[in-house]
Amino acid sequence: MCSYIVEKARLFGTAKGPGGEWMKVDTANVYYDHPYEAQLDHALCVDFICEAQGGRERVAIEISRESALELIEKIQAALASGDDAHGKAAEAKYSLAGSQAEVASLF
């Protein structure tokens, strides 16, 4: 396709970046197009970056459409089982504000 269509997801968290160092991430650029490296005609590509820090470093994945759909399913399953295990009470402790503080303290 070679389009410039990019979906942006706002994130809060960390990713293990270039050089094996952890980095903050605040954005996922998501697109379905010809990949750079994966030997696929089209791939679901995600670039995890931190726009607040200039967005110059990234953690990138290029996976097949089928892989992406399975990943979506497994993320939802993991979240569901996590909710069951940790209970709704965890929402207060691990609210976005709380998580932000915890992650920020790592750097």
Summarize as ranges the residues that interact with other proteins (CB under 8 A). Answer: 1-4, 6, 8, 29, 31, 34, 36-37, 39-41, 47, 49, 55-56, 58, 60
Of 11, 44, 10, 7, the C-alpha closest to 29 is 7
Q: Do residues 28 and 11 make contact, with C-beta atoms less than 8 angstroms apart?
A: yes
| Pick 39 or 105: Cβ nearer other proteins | 39
Least Å distance, CB 52 to other proteins, is 14
Of 61, 41, 40, the C-alpha closest to 1 is 41
| Pick 1 or 69: Cβ nearer other proteins | 1
| Pick 24 or 48: Cβ nearer other proteins | 48
